[in-house]
Structure formats: structure tokens, C-alpha cells
Chain A
Amino acid sequence: MTDLSVKSWKKQRNEEESLNSQEGLKLGKNNAKKPLELARTRLIVAGFIFTACFLVLGTRLLDLSLIGTDTESVTSRNYTAAEMTLARRDIVDRNNIVLATNLPTDSLFVEPKEVLEPEKSLAKIKTVLPRININSLLSVINSGGSFHWIARNLTPEQVWQINNLGLPGFKFIKEEKRVYPHGSLFAHALGFAGVDNRGLTGIEASLDNRLTGVANVNAEPLKTSLDVRVQHALTLELSEAMASFKAKGASGLVIDVHTGELIAMASLPSFDLNLYKESSANERFNRATLGVYELGSVFKAFNTALALDSGLVKIEDSYDATKPLKVSRYFIRDDHPENRWLTVPEIFIHSSNIGSAQIAMDIGSERQRKFLSQLGMLEPIKLEIPESGRPLSPSKWRDINTMTVAYGHGIAVTPLHAINGFAAMVNGGIKRQPTLLYQDEIHNRNISGKRVIGADTSLTMRKLMYRAVTEGTGSNAQVEGYLVGGKTGTAEKAKAGGYERKAVISTFIAAFPIENPLYAVLVSLDEPRGNKHTHNYAGAGWTAAPATGRIISKIGPLLGVPPSTANIAFPAEQKITRPIKNIIRTEFRRSESATF
């Protein structure tokens, strides 16, 4: 209506105007009337524009407020939902079971200016928190100030009780506390974070940057390669072995030989991560990755593998082990003397130091040093924890060093070094970087490594390790269901100017199922004492090997490792059956061969 009237009016006006101008031109009068007309025109135009604008705005307003179209969500502010935040991410195991988490707690502080009756108040608080020191707190309150901690991370019950006391000046602040539900189980792998949520040891320290930073509760947790069940089985067997052999300490590792993932890592004695303040230095010491030890005969695996891989020593070669080997003023003796010529497999199986030393001399010092360096035995391993031991190796690689290194003396490495090198011996010859972080299924296939020995040498080594368990020193590691291959190592502990005969480190490293190894297990006992079940022997074959066997029989089914059965694992023409205990073992010894 308005538009129409304006238009018609405008039209009329235009006509008038043109008429007027014509008239003005013609007649030269009515000139005084012109500015007034102009003003009127402008007013009308302006009015028209404003009307149009208001119409648009009005329509839009009605549209938004009354009619309400779905354009609303587009124009609304970008809304982010509030989430519970955590100062530190969770750590989970490979099956997403929580290993470390942050829980909200309340901490009690005092504002001295607001306290009415300091002495009475503190006495009341002491009934709830018996640990507080009244005298020191009293002096703090009397000296003024605005803030002082009384107790951190209280339980909900304590908070409730203190609130019930109704004391002015005593207030709570929300805090977060790092909690380790598994207590001592992952003490050395996880490490702990202090009261200010800063990692101090273990994964907590080295991956502090990835763990800190305010994250909401749904943030991706840090996924480790560890497995709670395997860790439990390992820790349990280690602590039982430690108790029955009165060992000073023990360490154990389980590694996936194809990915380098550590499935379990234990060091005993251990401590409760939640009570880390009460732990001793000995308990905090990580024997699996920080402690370096001469591990003894397990090095024969590396020595034999190098010898066979280099082609300088043939598997049929034999060496004189009839009497101890004299090198300058030292004697190299055998712990299990056979006093005869031994073939290369026999040297490995019966763990002959004399034979190994001679093999090493045939290979040569330089080649040995280079090989061990390739295996990473001479440098600290970079794991996702700061506790990493630097191996001790001869500074000058003389002949005597070459000989002793062949059977694991004169070189000290961490158990982690040993199992990682061992994994390379059995997995087809690829050395990989060990890790504590979960490796994705897809990425597993591409985990790069460095070839250290040929695949055929690795197969030979698996056969030798299998024979070391069925015929040799590791016979106590045999288990029902899986073929196990491994190597014992009993090393006398070094003392000033020599070795202690009675104090030994007994180590056993095994891989299973040995026909196609998936996992390797290391068990190392520090100064075990023989008992009557072991006829007072403290050697690895009597102490560490049976524990390893028990661990394998427990974790094999847990990890879903298919049992070793002759029919399926091997083609019919290469038939092999697992020797059942001792009866078949003697038979096996006679044939002196393992067929895979």
C-alpha cells in the first residue's frame, strides 16, 4: 500500500516537476518554489529507503523470534561442551587396562588471618589427621601470611570430617593425585610422578611432555606395550624364585621378538608406586635396564651365531676341550666338563667355555667387537625410560678379552641388552629397537630393523637353542605344550681382583615356540643360593631355567600362542615331536640331532 502510494505520488510529482521546469524555462517564474520541491523529494526518497530497511530488519526479526527457522544453529556462537580436565594423561597397557591415572582429591590449607583459635583448631584437626605437627603449624599461623599447606590429597572421608569441624580459615582446594592401581606391579616401567604431577622416573619422566598439558577426560591415553597379565605372571614367578633361592634380587623381561615391544619388565625387589616416598634406593634400582652385569654363557649364543654366520667356522668343526685352556696366566675352565673334543653344537649345548674361547679366536677380535657393536651391546639402549645402563666392555680388545667375551665375561650389559640381542638371534636375524610403547598392528609389519645374521644362521641357532634345552643345561625349562629353546648363563660376580665363586648371577634366556619364535623371556637371579631341591646348585639351569619354563607355560596361552604340535608346525617329512620329559630325552641325546 505504502509502496504503491509512494510510486503513484512520485510519478505525479515527476510530472509536475517536468511541467514546472518547462514552465520555468518558458515563463521564468515560480523559481522560488523550486528548493522547497527539491527538499520534499529528498525527504520522500530518504523515507522510502528507511522504510525498505526497516521492512527487511522487521521481517528478519520476526523470522528469528517468532517463526524460528533452522538458520539459528548456523549463526549461533561456536559452542564447546565443558569436559572434565586432567592435568596428566592416563597410561594404559596394551589391552587398555589403566596403569596410571589422575584422581581428583582435596588438599587442606590454612589462611592464618582468618583463624580464630589456632591452638584449639589444630588440636581438632589432629583428631582427623594424626600426622600433622601442631607446633610447627602453630608458629606458621601466628606469624601470619595468607596461605600454608596443612595436608595434601586427603580422602573423601577426611574431607567430610574436617568440614564437620566447621573451623574458619581452614579451606580445601581441588587437586589431582597420580594413582597407580596396580601398586608395585609396574614400579620400574612406569616410574612415578611427584605431588606436583611431574614425572620423576620411568615412562612418567621420559614421556613427561606427552603426558602433561591439560587434557580432557576423553583424551587418548598413552598406550604402552606392557600386558598386565604377563607382567603379573613374570613378577610372581620371579618373586617365588627369589624367595626359594634366597636371591638378592631378580629381573625379568618378556619381549615380542618381531616388534621389539616389551610385554613385561620386572625388577625385584620392587616398591608400591603410590608410596614411592617410602621406597629404598635398592628397591628403586631398575635391574632390568639400568644394572649392568656379566651375564656369562648367554653370550655363547652371540659367539656361536657370529662364528657360523661369518662362515669361518663350520657346524661340523670340533675343538679340543679335553683340558682347561691356559691363556697367559689364566685358565679357562668348563663348568660342565666333558673332557673331550666337542663339535660346535656340543660346545653350545654343553656350554663349554674352552670351546667358545677357541671359536672366538678363530673369528678374531675385530670381527667380534664389530658384531657386538652391531647388536648394540656396547652402547646404552634408548628405551622410553631414563634408566638406561651403559655396558662395560674392554677398552682394548686383546686376545684374552676376545676369549672371555665369548662366554660372557669381561663384558657387562643390562638384561635388556641381552634379551634384545637374543631376539635378533631367533627372529630370523633382525635386530630391532626395543620399545615400551604399543606398536600398531599395521605398523608391526613394517617395524624396521637391522640384519645382523642371516636367516639360515638364525634357524641353526634356533635348533641349537632347542637342543640346549632338550639335551643341555637348560633342560628344566621344558614345558608342556611349547617347544622352548634357550641358553643358560651362570656368571660369577666380579670382586676386587677376581671373581667370587659363591656369588653368581644366574640367567636364562629362552624363546618360544622355538620352531617359530614369537616371544623371548629372560629371567636373571642375583646371587641365588642352591637349596635341597636343586642339590645346592645355584646355576642358571637349576634356578632361572625352571622359573622361565613356568613363566612360558603361563604366558603362552595368555598371549594366544598356539601350542607346538608336530603335525601342524612341521611338514610330515620333517617330523619332530617334543620329547616328553626324560625318557625321550635320552633317546634324543643318542641321535644327537634336532630336525626342524
Chain B
Amino acid sequence: MIRPVALVWIGLAAVVAVSLFLVKYKVQDLDEQLAKLEAKKITTQESIHVLEAEWTYLNKPDRLESLANKYLELSPTEAKQLIVYDPRITLSHDNLGDE
């Protein structure tokens, strides 16, 4: 003799079992995905790291200097090309304002 209450419990247990089963597989799946992504991330990090070193190597000042001499019509900045902000120089709109 099965009482309706027992039926309800059996039903609930079944639902729980199935959901547990599903959750477990989902987690396993996600774990796999995570591991893959992490591996990919580390490979990418390694690549970035190596590329950074290569970038520095390619930007060595002596190399840049020879390349600039070869391809550019630019020369190193000279002191006379720099100016200093002098508070005594007033901008034109300062003179015009407050009238």
C-alpha cells in the first residue's frame, strides 16, 4: 500500500537525484572549459611575455638610431627646440578679459 505522501517523497527524491546528476555533469563540463581557457591564457601570457622582450630588443636605441638615420629626416631634439613656461608671458585672452 503506497500512501500519497510517500509518492510525493519518491517524486521529490527522483527530481533531486536527476538535478544532482545534471549539475555534476555541468560542473565537470565547466571545469574542462576552465582548464582549457587557463591553458590558453598561460600560452597567451607566455607569447605576450616573449613578444615584450622582442619588442624591447627591436627598440634598442642603437637600432632605432640607425633606422632613423636611414629612413627619417628627423634628428634628435636639441635644447633650443625646448621652451619653458614663463609666468610673465601672459596669453592674449588674459589681457582682454575682465574689462
Residues of A participating in the B interface, judged by any CB pair closer than 8 Å: 1-2, 58, 61-62, 64-66, 81-84, 86, 97-98, 101, 103-104, 179, 181-183, 185, 217, 228-229, 232, 236, 479-482, 553-554, 556-558, 560-563, 565, 567-568
Q: Total interface residues on B, using CB and 8 Å?
A: 35
Residue of A nearest to B20 (CB): A65
- Knowing A65-B20, A229-B61, the reply to whether A557 touches B81 (Cβ < 8 A) is yes
User: Of the candidates B19, B42, B53, B86, which one forms a contact with A568 in the assembled complex, judged by CB atoms under 8 Å apart?
Assistant: B86
Give per-residue flags for B60-84: 1 if the beta carbon is below 8 A from chain A beta carbons, else 0. 1110010000000000111111111
Residue numbers in B under 8 Å from A236 (CB-CB): 62
Residue of B nearest to A85 (CB): B42
The 5 closest A-B pairs by CB, nearest first: A481-B79, A232-B61, A65-B19, A84-B45, A557-B77
User: Of the candidates A66, A84, A101, A561, which one forms a contact with B53 in the assembled complex, judged by CB atoms under 8 Å apart?
Assistant: A101
- Knowing A65-B20, A182-B56, the reply to whether A556 touches B79 (Cβ < 8 A) is yes
In whole Å, how far is A434's beta carbon from the nearest beta carbon of chain B?
Answer: 24
Residue of A nearest to B58 (CB): A181
- Knowing A65-B19, A557-B82, the reply to whether A81 touches B38 (Cβ < 8 A) is yes
Interface of A, secondary structure class, is mixed
A82 touches B19 (CB 8 A): no
- Knowing A183-B60, A229-B61, the reply to whether A553 touches B79 (Cβ < 8 A) is yes
A563 touches B84 (CB 8 A): yes
Give per-residue flags for B1-32: 1 if the beta carbon is below 8 A from chain A beta carbons, else 0. 00001000000100110011011000000000
Residue numbers in A under 8 Å from B80 (CB-CB): 480-481, 563
B62 touches A481 (CB 8 A): no
Residue numbers in A under 8 Å from B84 (CB-CB): 562-563, 565, 568
Residue of A nearest to B57 (CB): A181
User: Of the candidates B50, B56, B62, which one forms a contact with A232 in the assembled complex, judged by CB atoms under 8 Å apart?
Assistant: B62
- Knowing A181-B56, A567-B86, the reply to whether A83 touches B79 (Cβ < 8 A) is no
- Knowing A228-B61, A480-B80, A556-B79, the reply to whether A66 touches B46 (Cβ < 8 A) is no
Residue of A nearest to B54 (CB): A181
Residue from B59, B60, B61 with most neighbouring chain A CB atoms (10 Å):
B61
In whole Å, how far is A73's beta carbon from the nearest beta carbon of chain B?
Answer: 13
Residue numbers in B under 8 Å from A562 (CB-CB): 82-84
A-B contact pairs, 13 of them (CB 8 A): A61-B16, A61-B20, A83-B42, A84-B49, A101-B49, A181-B60, A182-B56, A183-B60, A232-B65, A557-B79, A557-B81, A560-B82, A562-B82
B38 touches A82 (CB 8 A): yes
Residue of B nearest to A233 (CB): B61
What CA separation (Å) do A558 and B64 show in the bound complex?
15
Residue from B65, B80, B82 with most neighbouring chain A CB atoms (10 Å):
B82
Residue numbers in A under 8 Å from B50 (CB-CB): 103-104
